[in-house]
Amino acid sequence: MSIKLAILGLLSWKPSTGYDLKKMIEDSSFMHWSGNNNQIYKSLVQLLEDGWVTHEVQHQESSPSKKIYTITDKGLAELRNWVDSSPELPELKKGFLTQLAWADQLNSKELDDLLSRYEAEISLHLALQEEKKRRSLYVPNRTEREACLWEMIAENIISSYRNELLWVQQLRQKLV
């Protein structure tokens, strides 16, 4: 997923500042992006140049001025084209599985400790995702269908973590 497309999606929901966009992307459970803050601002400049967004400078008395970005009709058309394109398959490559493939080098206690650490990390992420879903800070909910889509996206992520926990438990049982 391109950061520009995520930005267009967020701006289709509501006009936002670069900082607001950064916060929404960071807090998202499914908008995967590993870049730095400068990429958001660089992307906004490119989106402006492409005519996909506009911005308005909002002056503030006690703070620096801020730019509020809004998606244009051209940007909405680009977003719609991307949404209607062929979906990407889920990424199934997991670094932990590669690590685990060579874990026979560990003694039983070391392997158990490794699995315990992984299970604890997965449990922590599961709790985080459940709390994000409960709080639903950045969920548009403009229509019932949109609310359903976002609800099911959250469920997909949560069920992935639950499934991973179940898999670790099954692995431990087979190793006994």
Residue-wise pLDDT for 60-84, tens only, equals 888 888 999 999 999 999 999 999 9
- 100, 167: one domain: yes
Q: What is the pLDDT of residue 118?
A: 97
Q: Which amino acid is at 15?
A: P
Q: What is the pLDDT of residue 34?
A: 65
- 23, 73: one domain: yes
| 122 in any annotated domain | yes
- 72, 104: one domain: no
- 78, 111: one domain: no
Report the SS3 class of residue 17: coil
- 145, 167: one domain: yes
- 58, 20: one domain: yes
Is the pLDDT assigned to residue 136 strictly greater than 60? yes
Distance CA 158, CA 134 (A): 12
- 40, 12: one domain: yes
- 100, 77: one domain: no
C-alpha neighbours within 13 Å on the C-beta side of residue 163: 6
Q: What percent of the chain has pLDDT over 70?
A: 97
| 146 in any annotated domain | yes
DSSP labels for 60-89?
-SSS--EEEEEE-HHHHHHHHHHHTSPPPP
Is the pLDDT assigned to residue 86 strictly greater than 70? yes
| 88 in any annotated domain | no
Distance CA 130, CA 105 (A): 35
Q: What is the pLDDT of residue 54?
A: 97
Q: What is the pLDDT of residue 154?
A: 93
Q: What is the pLDDT of residue 30?
A: 85
Q: What is the pLDDT of residue 166?
A: 98
- 7, 37: one domain: yes
- 25, 73: one domain: yes
Averaged pLDDT for residues 12-16: 96
Averaged pLDDT for residues 127-131: 94
| 119 in any annotated domain | yes
Q: Dihedral, CA atoms, 101, 115, 168, 174, nearest 10 degrees?
A: 70
Residue-wise pLDDT for 21-74, tens only, equals 988 988 888 887 666 768 899 999 999 999 999 999 999 888 888 999 999 999
**Number of separate domains in the chain:** 2
Q: Give the pTM.
A: 0.82
Distance CA 28, CA 72 (A): 23
| 89 in any annotated domain | no
Range of the domain at 53: 3-83
- What's the whole-number average pLDDT of the chain? 92
| 90 in any annotated domain | no
Q: What is the pLDDT of residue 35?
A: 62
Q: Which amino acid is at 4?
A: K
In angstroms, the first-to-last Cα distance of the chain is: 41
Q: What percent of the chain has pLDDT over 90?
A: 72
CATH number for the domain including 45? 1.10.10.10
